[in-house]
Structure 1
Amino acid sequence: MNSPFLGEQLENPGLIHNCQGLVIAKPMQMLFIAAFIFGVPTVWLLVLLCCDICNRSKGQTRSFFSLLSHYLIHRTASLQSGLQRQGLEQSTKNILQVQQSTLQHRIRRNRNTEYGKLYQFSKITDRETFRNLHPLTRYDHYEEYIERTSKGEENVLISERPCILSRTSGTSGSYATLLNTKETMNDFHQAFGVVFHSMLDVYPRTRNLQWTAAFYYSPDWTKSESGIPIGSNLPSLMTSMLKLTMYSTPAAGFEIATEPEALYVHLLFALKDRTLGMLEAHFASTVYHSFALLQNKWEQLIEDIRLGQVNPKLKITGDVRLKLEARLKPDPQRASELAAEFEIGFRGIARRVWPHLNLVLSVDSGSHELYGSHLKCFYCQGVPIYSPVYAATEGLIGVNLWPGKEKRHYLLCPHSMFFEFIPVDLCSEEQPQTLFLDEVKENELYELVITNASGLYRYRMGDIIKIVGFHNQCPVIEFKYRLGQLLNVRGEKILEETFYQTLLRTVSLWPGAVLLDYCCVESGLLGSFCGSSDPHYEVFVEIKGVRNLSEDQRYKLDQCLQEDSELYQSFRRKGSIGPVRVHIVAPGSFKELMDFITANVGTSCSQFNMHRILRKKEFLNFIQRKVIS
């Protein structure tokens, strides 16, 4: 039966009449118009997205979903890092206001604590009154407050419950437990954003969607009486970042709590990927020890890659092993390719097994300089190393905005700390007059004084820094040494940096020798075993290229030290200081020393700074047992 409405539709198919006589556009026509307006640009954007992902993938065989996830995270991080860099730039243009605001925030937040009432925080209105009302401090000033906080007492030193208790590495001879708050941790997150921006700017190839081999491992966490986690602030900070899809090691690999097993697993998955783009660790020492492990274990690693397994002898839990092996497949072709490279030798091995490697991201300043130098000269020839931050257990201090420069310079972060500076010639005084951030001068040396977010006020860190310039209004600094790290048996005060450079020059005079590691001891620590009535230095070196040294070669170090230090030469000529004694230790001794120190101190290897001058008898006894010549 024909309807009048149907007939009208047929006569005018572009219109549809409903029963109320209202007219609407034909649905298919609307969809076509919408598809034309919105669909074509959307399709075009999707095509551009796919092309960009393909261009950045560097020929990887990963799934498109994995690449897309990596791409989106990378793009998001890139945008966020740009905003964080802008924020840092803005803060360096008005450091007086930023520093005043940072100080007032710290004081106001904790003014009702027991400590805040004792030191009259309510009367502190600016930096001058802060300096007048609060003394300069060292760790013993806070020890009781921190102990009470760790036991669960509230509102003692800070108004909030600390999220972590962290131990210092003890390079100055003493160890400290410090509080860490969420604000301290957030400062690190902000810094990593700035680092990411600088990295992409100077090394544009890091924008590629390549895996990063991250040499981290889960710290051995304990808890205080009140349940506050005790461990390293840096590894805990990275935990959330490791959930991203940018790392070559599966998530299960970061559950491994022991260093040798964790490094082995990281190496295994890194070696499987020929297109690896970056190596990453907190410190250059970790990267160096990873390559040393590779040099010792390469045959087993190749066998694991060939068979698609994790070494059955590796001490990891069954659950972690199952998760890891689910990501492994036999790859005899890659195993043969790696074997050919390893049989040639390990000089420049990084770029040979990973031809697309763009960067090593790791701190190589301070006590890690020797490891960074060996990476550059041997394992990682031709691969740039970016030392991103200057940080400590006390918190973030500075960031390196100049990745491509050979010298490691760091811009102080005016939001993370309130800074003061003690001129180096006043460091021996207990309460010297300090300078503020806007009062320091270029090319001058200062002891760093900080007020952080975790309950340290006008705290003398013991770090000596040099002002090397300014970025906008903010100082750019270079770390020089720690006050406790100098050799001083007669008042000669040989700085760690001075001794290190002298030792490098001496080793260059030993034909074929390469310095791998070293430490020093003042003879007083030996007691009756020093074998001489004259105070002197005992030096322990791990070298390669020579098996023994003649007495004349060993004496070269003393001669070079006299040439580099007039005061030392004067004491030597007077006979009040005896000659330096040099001892060669067995290969791997300093890695064992590091493990021994961290086990005794209760800190993590991943935050460890090698003790170049040993101050404890048990550490000296350990390295003495490793002497072979």
Structure 2
Amino acid sequence: MVTVQHRIKPTHNVTVTLCFTLTLLVIILIVFGHNYGLFGMPSAVSSIVGVLSLGGMALLWRDIGWRVKGKNRTVGSLVTQYVAVKVVGWLGKRQRERLEADTRDIRKAQEETLLKRLRKNANTYYGRLYEFSSIKDCMAFCQCHPLTGYEHYRDLVKRVASGEKGVLIAEKPLILAMTSGTSGASSMLLSTKDTNTEFFLQGVAVCLDVMRKAFPASESLQRTTKFFYKPTFRQSEAGIPIGPNSSTPASSHHMLNLYTTPAPAFQVPSESDTLYLHLLFALKDHSVGTLESNFASTLFYAFSFLQERWQELVEDVELGRVTPRLGIEDEVRRSLDRLLKPDPERAAQLKAQFQRGFGGLALRLWPQLNLVLAVDSGSNEIYGELLRQRYCLGVPFYSPFYAATEGLIGVNLWPEKEQRQYLLCPRSMFCEFLPEASLDEEQPSTLLMDQVQKGLLYELVVTNASGLFRYRIGDVVKVVGFHNQCPVVEFQYRRGQMLNIRGEKLSEAVFLAALKRAVSQWPGAELVDYCCAESGILGESSGGSDPHYQVYLELKGVRNLTEEQRYKLDHCLQEDSTIYKSFRFKGSIGPMRVQLVGGGAFQELRGHMLAFSHTSPNTFKMHRVLRRKEHADFLRGKIIS
């Protein structure tokens, strides 16, 4: 097998291999394009074929050569990655142009999206029930179809799960996707090929184009370390997979060339063991270019794990093996061990960096690291801040998507902005907006994309490609501006994650702002994690008769707080919320009780929540307001002061 170290020196055999590989990829791209509608123009394929000329080959080879930064890369993996970068780059540019055109006539783009959905599903049971075939425009749809929540669909989804056809959507769903359950019990939704195609075309392709322009070094042929865990699926009565709406990178052989983690590791069922393997193969590669995960929390937990077990990992790098302490199958272990060789030189480099401490560790382990790619808005905001301040100091971050199990909602076109903002995708979902003042009404009037106002808050209502119509997803966003005619939003809070024991309705954003201000006034304290519980769920363990908030904090730098310091949080919240202040003044809400929990308590809580739910580690988001007594009791057992 031909391998590559730094610069490539082409030979006749390598040229033949490259030509054959590219020809094969062109065939794959042609077939893929016809099957999935990705290539509307023949110039896309012909431009790739063009590089097969002898002159093109020379230019191509030179282009690949200057991009290579890693060691021991096979020619096949480099060519596959190079062509993937070029093809997706072309596709991203094309999709970005389409997006720009859509944002200049947002009503037209939205109406076409809606009518396409309705026409496709007009002959289903649901489409006939609501007379989709007679709807001609957005306003008619809003007038004849009610706003919905999950209860509206529960029985219909059960019928789909049992094998009944043509209930909500015309085609059979790929999977029955389980939501993360952050705001309550998990819901089972449908996921289709259209949902996945839209996510790739309107989300992934566009964001890669944004990334390429904002972070040019990301085009170099470096591998990515992707922290991803094998999803667990069960089967419905009709044999439809039930589980998270995500697929393993190992499902695509060619995709694996982009990642440091080899295929066998993605089949390991244990999250802890898989994480160990992700880190082991990442540490072996001095030239990692990107660290990627769905959420910043996943990456933060990975670095915390690395901090605890770095000595064991360095030993494995030195010896060229997978530690026998991992409980993985023998065949998988043999496959992984074959990919490892003793590397005492790299082990010595790693050991020296770990012994220096953990501040700025990422760039010291991987000096050519270009980017951290993970969502760090909403409930992941504090993890993003911790990573930027500690482990990933000096590394750019890009939070690319605003998405949910229901599908793609928005894309971040402004990676340089510290406050994460997302342009709503006009061809992914038909969106409506409920003004914040009308959230408690059953069937309030909604606004369309071209009717919202800058500076106001709205709950999103979506009609997607997977059988949800005028569906209240529970996300409240703030319109912070417009890109041409299309709204740009910031995520604010989930309705199900509001503190509300007397009708005060405190959002996660309001509470977190007060908490950060309070922590800044506690000398030496650094916020690691937090959550709250309303005293009503705690029973006799609440510690008082007046309704109040129980707050659990994990802090770094302090192990105790004075009563005055604890009260500072209550005071800061009163300053930020006049409603909370009025209830506190009247005595109808008692003083909050602030408890410190030991280090790692929230990681243990996360493990406890995952063990007793259908949520995947890839989609888990920490609950900021606990709704189940068992979760609050779990943290009560971790209190240190």
User: Same fold per TM (> 0.5)?
Assistant: yes
**Structure 2 letter corresponding to 1:502:** A
CA contact (8 A) 1:242 1:251 kept: no
Using the alignment, how far apart are the partners of 2:575 and 2:83 within structure 1?
57
| Cα distance change on mapping 1:241 and 1:540 into 2, 3 Å | farther
Give 1:508 deviation, angstroms.
1.4
Q: Which moved more, 1:611-620 or 1:250-259?
A: 250-259
Deviations 1:298-347 (A, max 9, x none): 00000000000011111222222122111111011111111111111111
Q: Does 1:119 align with 2:130?
A: yes
CA contact (8 A) 1:277 1:356 kept: yes
2:274 alignment partner in structure 1: 262
Taking the TM superposition and a 5 Å limit, the aligned residue runs for 1:100-249 are 100-190=111-201, 191-235=203-247, 239-240=251-252, 243-249=255-261
Taking the TM superposition and a 5 Å limit, the aligned residue runs for 1:4-153 are 43-58=54-69, 60-153=71-164
CA contact (8 A) 2:248 2:266 kept: no
CA contact (8 A) 2:249 2:255 kept: no
Using the alignment, how far apart are the partners of 2:485 and 2:110 within structure 1?
12
Using the alignment, how far apart are the partners of 2:70 and 2:253 within structure 1?
25
User: Which structure's CA Rg is the greater one?
Assistant: 1
Q: Which moved more, 1:49-58 or 1:129-138?
A: 49-58
1:281 alignment partner in structure 2: 293
| Cα distance change on mapping 1:237 and 1:115 into 2, 3 Å | farther
CA contact (8 A) 2:181 2:615 kept: no
Aligned to 1:261, what secondary structure does the other structure show?
A: helix
Give 1:533 deviation, angstroms.
1.1
Give 1:421 deviation, angstroms.
0.7
Taking the TM superposition and a 5 Å limit, the aligned residue runs for 1:577-596 are 577-596=589-608
Aligned to 1:607, what secondary structure does the other structure show?
A: coil
Task: Find 2:283's aligned residue among 266, 271, 280.
Answer: 271
The aligned length equals 590
Identity of aligned residues (%): 53
Aligned to 1:172, what secondary structure does the other structure show?
A: coil
1:416 alignment partner in structure 2: 428
Using the alignment, how far apart are the partners of 1:146 and 1:42 within structure 2?
53
| Cα distance change on mapping 1:305 and 1:238 into 2, 3 Å | closer
Deviations 1:519-573 (A, max 9, x none): 0001011122212111110001111111222222222211221222222222222
Aligned to 2:339, what secondary structure does the other structure show?
A: coil
CA contact (8 A) 1:521 1:537 kept: yes
Give 1:59 deviation, angstroms.
5.6
Deviations 1:359-384 (A, max 9, x none): 00001111111111101111100001
Deviations 1:109-142 (A, max 9, x none): 2222222222222322211111111100111111
Using the alignment, how far apart are the partners of 1:580 and 1:238 within structure 2?
47
Give 1:258 deviation, angstroms.
2.2
Q: Does 1:518 align with 2:545?
A: no
Q: Does 1:341 align with 2:353?
A: yes
Give 1:235 deviation, angstroms.
3.5
Aligned to 2:257, what secondary structure does the other structure show?
A: coil
CA contact (8 A) 1:146 1:179 kept: yes
Deviations 1:435-468 (A, max 9, x none): 1111111111111000011111100111111111
CA contact (8 A) 1:187 1:416 kept: yes
**Structure 2 letter corresponding to 1:189:** F
Using the alignment, how far apart are the partners of 2:413 and 2:550 within structure 1?
39
Using the alignment, how far apart are the partners of 1:444 and 1:236 within structure 2?
39
Aligned to 1:487, what secondary structure does the other structure show?
A: coil
Using the alignment, how far apart are the partners of 1:240 and 1:458 within structure 2?
34
Using the alignment, how far apart are the partners of 2:419 and 2:247 within structure 1?
26
Using the alignment, how far apart are the partners of 2:92 and 2:81 within structure 1?
16
Q: Which moved more, 1:279-288 or 1:484-493?
A: 484-493
Query: Please, which runs of 5 or more residues in structure 2 have no aligned partner?
Result: 1-51
Give 1:614 deviation, angstroms.
0.4
Q: Which moved more, 1:94-103 or 1:281-290?
A: 94-103
Taking the TM superposition and a 5 Å limit, the aligned residue runs for 1:374-385 are 374-385=386-397
**Structure 2 letter corresponding to 1:51:** R
CA contact (8 A) 1:185 1:233 kept: no
**Structure 2 letter corresponding to 1:387:** S
**Structure 2 letter corresponding to 1:232:** P
Deviations 1:217-240 (A, max 9, x none): 220111111111111113458843
Using the alignment, how far apart are the partners of 1:241 and 1:220 within structure 2?
20
CA contact (8 A) 1:173 1:616 kept: no
Q: Does 1:399 align with 2:411?
A: yes
Deviations 1:190-211 (A, max 9, x none): 1101111110010000011111
Deviations 1:10-45 (A, max 9, x none): xxxxxxxxxxxxxxxxxxxxxxxxxxxxxxx95554
Q: Does 1:539 align with 2:551?
A: yes
1:21 alignment partner in structure 2: none
**Structure 2 letter corresponding to 1:566:** T
**Structure 2 letter corresponding to 1:435:** L
CA contact (8 A) 1:169 1:175 kept: yes
Q: Does 1:492 align with 2:509?
A: no
Aligned to 1:340, what secondary structure does the other structure show?
A: helix
Deviations 1:257-316 (A, max 9, x none): 321111111111111111111101111111111001100110000000000001111122
1:20 alignment partner in structure 2: none
Q: Which moved more, 1:546-555 or 1:337-346?
A: 546-555
CA contact (8 A) 1:243 1:251 kept: no
Deviations 1:55-85 (A, max 9, x none): 1112634244432332222222212222222
Using the alignment, how far apart are the partners of 1:152 and 1:209 within structure 2?
45
CA contact (8 A) 1:280 1:362 kept: yes
Using the alignment, how far apart are the partners of 1:241 and 1:76 within structure 2?
17
CA contact (8 A) 1:213 1:249 kept: yes
Aligned to 1:98, what secondary structure does the other structure show?
A: helix
| Cα distance change on mapping 1:534 and 1:210 into 2, 3 Å | same
Give 1:242 deviation, angstroms.
6.8
Using the alignment, how far apart are the partners of 2:171 and 2:87 within structure 1?
32
CA contact (8 A) 2:250 2:263 kept: no
2:588 alignment partner in structure 1: 576
Give 1:166 deviation, angstroms.
1.2
Deviations 1:361-413 (A, max 9, x none): 00111111111110111110000110000000111101111112111111111
Aligned to 1:517, what secondary structure does the other structure show?
A: strand
**Structure 2 letter corresponding to 1:409:** Q
Q: Which moved more, 1:240-249 or 1:487-496?
A: 240-249
**Structure 2 letter corresponding to 1:158:** I
- The two structures have a TM-score, normalised by structure 2, of 0.89
